[in-house]
């Protein structure tokens, strides 16, 4: 564990605690590789020595973690030299964070844990509660450093401050929609001149396919805007929503925030909408988009 020094930039004195999970992953990998462990033994070693994955909490999350491990195992062999040589770049994180704070009108300093981990080659970074009044930004390293990914996730951190969001997994679908839409479009603001797919897609062709079902996806999500159970959040993020498309909340967020910006709203205004006001605003905006 390494505590990064406070970094003053853009008038902010931010603190980032660096937590490097790569040594724990390598302990698991080296032992599993040495034993030529089969899937079951490999899973036991993963739980014993590493136990870190970008999955929802609970039993279903652990089932997903097992599937991710099995699917990624051979790719770890191909990328292990890169993983062993990887080093954190906290200066980049400080610079992007400061830029986002300015654009979202965040006056407060940010104090976070930055956890670098080895994921499953799915570019699945995430933000989660870490300690009292602190969030953790968890960034996978196996695919390299992506400024777009870093900007997206840091927007979640700053947005939690400006709108007083909890950062927990269970939150209303309206909140998920605004969080993901704002983060995607802010990453486009920070890292411009890429195709739209670069800011929102998790697999090739997903955005275009969602566009083809735009109104059905929007209409399908509206009845769930005020629901917040883990099952419903999973359904519209890593599940298949109401139209059999994964990450429907991400798509709706992309379309909604794009529309708000086109109509004259600013990033700062969107970022300061309080959680109790989100459901009504999102519903009215989505109904208008379908007319």
- Residue 113 burial (CB count, 10 A): 20
**What's the pTM value of the predicted model, to 2 decimals?**
0.83
Assign 166 a pLDDT band (cuts: 50, 70, 90). confident
Question: For position 11, what pLDDT does the model report?
Answer: 65
Interval 175-232: pLDDT, tens: 999 999 999 999 999 999 999 999 999 889 999 999 999 999 999 999 999 999 999 9
Three-class secondary structure of residue 273 per DSSP: coil
Residue bearing the bigger pLDDT, 93 or 190: 190
On the CB side of 67, CA atoms within 13 Å amount to: 9
| Residue with tokens 């603001």, as numbered in its chain | 189
Interval 49-68: pLDDT, tens: 999 998 888 888 899 999 99
Three-class secondary structure of residue 200 per DSSP: helix
């Amino acid at each position: 564990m390494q505590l990064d020094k406070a970094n003053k930039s853009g008038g902010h004195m931010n603190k980032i605690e660096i937590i490097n999970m790569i040594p724990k992953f390598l302990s698991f990998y080296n032992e599993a590789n040495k034993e030529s462990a089969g899937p079951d033994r490999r899973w036991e070693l993963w739980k014993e020595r590493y136990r870190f994955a970008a999955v929802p909490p609970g039993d279903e999350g652990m089932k997903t973690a097992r599937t991710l491990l099995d699917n990624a195992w051979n790719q770890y062999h191909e990328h292990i030299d890169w993983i062993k040589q990887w080093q954190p770049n906290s200066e980049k994180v400080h610079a992007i964070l400061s830029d986002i704070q300015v654009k979202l009108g965040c006056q407060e300093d940010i104090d976070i844990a930055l956890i670098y981990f080895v994921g499953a080659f799915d570019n699945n970074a995430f933000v989660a509660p870490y300690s009292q009044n602190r969030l953790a930004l968890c960034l996978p390293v196996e695919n390299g450093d992506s400024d777009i990914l870093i900007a997206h996730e840091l927007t979640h951190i700053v947005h939690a401050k400006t709108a007083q969001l909890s950062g927990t997994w269970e939150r209303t679908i309206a909140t998920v929609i605004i969080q993901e839409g704002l983060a995607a479009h802010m990453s486009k603001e920070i890292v411009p001149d890429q195709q739209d797919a670069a800011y929102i897609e998790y697999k090739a062709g997903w955005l275009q396919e969602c566009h083809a079902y735009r109104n059905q996806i929007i209409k399908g999500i509206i009845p769930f805007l005020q629901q917040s159970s883990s099952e419903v959040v999973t359904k519209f993020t890593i599940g298949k929503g109401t139209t059999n498309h994964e990450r429907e909340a991400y798509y709706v967020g992309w379309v909604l925030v794009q529309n708000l910006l086109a109509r004259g709203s600013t990033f700062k205004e969107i970022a300061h909408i309080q959680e109790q006001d989100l459901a009504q605003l999102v519903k009215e905006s989505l109904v208008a988009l379908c007319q």
